Amino acid sequence: MQLVALACSDPPEGCTRCTLTLLANALLEVVEHESISCETIRRRLDDNDLKPWQRKMWCIAKIDGEYIARMEDLLDLYAEPHDPKRPVVCFDESPIRLIGEMRVPIVQKPGKRYRYDSEYKRNGTAKLFVMVDANRS
pLDDT digits (tens, 9 = 90+) for 10-24: 777 887 777 888 888
pLDDT number for residue 96 = 94
Contact 123, 100 (CB under 8 A): yes
Which residue type sits at 68? Answer: I
pLDDT number for residue 91 = 92
Q: Which carries the bigger pLDDT value, residue 82 or residue 115?
A: 82
Of the candidates 133, 129, 132, 135, the residue with the CA atom closest to the CA atom of residue 92: 129
| Mean pLDDT computed over 110-129 | 85
How do residues 16-45 score in pLDDT, each as one tens digit? 777 888 888 888 888 888 888 888 888 888
pLDDT number for residue 53 = 64
